[in-house]
Amino acid sequence: MLTVKEVSKVVDLSEHTIRYYTDKGLIPMIKRDKNNNRVFDDECIGTLITIKCLKDTGMPLDEIKKYIHLYLEGESTFDIRYKMIVKQYEIAKKQLLEAEDRVEFLKNKVALYESQHK
Amino acid sequence: MLTVKEVSKVVDLSEHTIRYYTDKGLIPMIKRDKNNNRVFDDECIGTLITIKCLKDTGMPLDEIKKYIHLYLEGESTFDIRYKMIVKQYEIAKKQLLEAEDRVEFLKNKVALYESQHK
DNA sequence: ATAACATCTTCGAGTAACTCGAAGGCAAAT
DNA sequence: ATTTGCCTTCGAGTTACTCGAAGATGTTAT
């Protein structure tokens, strides 16, 4: 059972961002303790990790929210959720190629600078 | 010599975004034709490609602008420019690892969905 | 020649996803 | 008892787009 500050370290997102996500309804299973503080269990943390991955593949928060809620609806939403994940998987693979290109590009730039350094 | 529309296809950025960049001063060497239309030569396109790469490694537009202008100042700014590029190169390598992790994560999710599909 | 169309321009408003700081509540430590 | 530290909510500000409207200009069709 972790606090906002603790999960912010675990998932590497700012405390502000984590509160923003909970308030937007992206982690609907989150509970509060007797002092009204957010408490994160393993399910919440797993959800946050999924949110982060989907966000980083460019999925808008509204669509991520939809995915989480479809998941909570159960088996009947299997097909649509599967399609959503496959789509992001394709995007992730494309992003990987682009990341490789950027590394190449900057590696060449660095090499160029170093060749000019007398 | 290309128009906004043409470069938008070459570098895969929207026409709006390209105008936004020129108006922000990120492509200071850009010229206008007799009808006041933006015209992009090879140098402009090279600059745009560099801008896109730096932006995708998370550099803010203001800092990219600074880099471009330092470049135009010549040799005296060599060291600072070199440091800026090395920094983004390190970030690009980190992003590559993260992109790999996302592909792995989503690949596993897809596999999980497919194992449950009867 | 004139009308229609495409493509360019500027401008201002709107949006997503943070990002920050202030003001205040509660609980343990000195 | 008060200071420290972490939590809360709220509202404002920022970045980087993103969009659409209104208008100038140049090209093509009749």
In this predicted model, what pLDDT tens digit does every residue of B75-98 receive, in sequence order?
999 999 999 999 999 999 999 999
Any atom of strand D under 7 A from CB of A34? no
Angle between helices B61-73 and B42-56 (to 10 degrees): 140
The pLDDT value given to residue A106: 98
Q: Distance from B102 to chain A by nearest Cα, in Å?
A: 6
Sequence-ordered strand ranges (E) for A1-118: 31-32, 38-39
Q: Would the pLDDT of A118 be above 70?
A: no
Helix or strand run (H / E) with residue B56: helix B42-56
CA-nearest of B33, B7, B34, B36 to B21 is: B7
Q: Would the pLDDT of A17 be above 70?
A: yes
Nucleotides of C under 7 A from a protein CB: 7-11, 16-21, 26-27
Kindly determine whether residue B53 and residue A102, on different chains, have CB atoms separated by under 8 Å: yes
Mean pLDDT confidence for A25-36:
96
Q: Would the pLDDT of B117 be above 90?
A: no
Whether B87 contacts chain A with CB within 8 A: no
CB neighbourhood size of A109 (10 A): 19
Mean pLDDT confidence for A73-94:
97
Average pLDDT of the residues of chain A? 97
Kindly determine whether residue A106 and residue B88, on different chains, have CB atoms separated by under 8 Å: yes
Nucleotide nearest to A60 in CA–C1' terms: C16
Any atom of strand D under 7 A from CB of B20? yes
Nucleotide nearest to A36 in CA–C1' terms: D8
Compare B59 and A118 and report the one with higher pLDDT. B59
The pLDDT value given to residue A117: 79
Q: Would the pLDDT of B118 be above 70?
A: no
Which residues on adjacent β-strands are paired with residue B9?
A: none
In the structure, how far is the CA atom of residue A13 from the C1' atom of nucleotide C17, in angstroms? 13
CB neighbourhood size of B94 (10 A): 14
Q: Are B68 and B27 in contact (CB under 8 A)?
A: yes
The pLDDT value given to residue B17: 98
Q: Which pLDDT tens digit goes with each residue over A49-70?
A: 999 999 999 999 999 999 999 9
Q: Which pLDDT tens digit goes with each residue over B26-46?
A: 999 999 999 999 999 999 999
Nucleotides of D under 7 A from a protein CB: 6-10, 15-20, 25-26
Q: Given pLDDT bands bounded at 50, 70 and 90, which one contains residue A84?
A: very high
- Among B57, B109, B117, beta carbon nearest to A102: B57
In the structure, how far is the CA atom of residue B93 from the C1' atom of nucleotide D10, in angstroms? 39
Q: Would the pTM of this model clear 0.85, i.e. be above it?
A: yes
The pLDDT value given to residue A15: 97
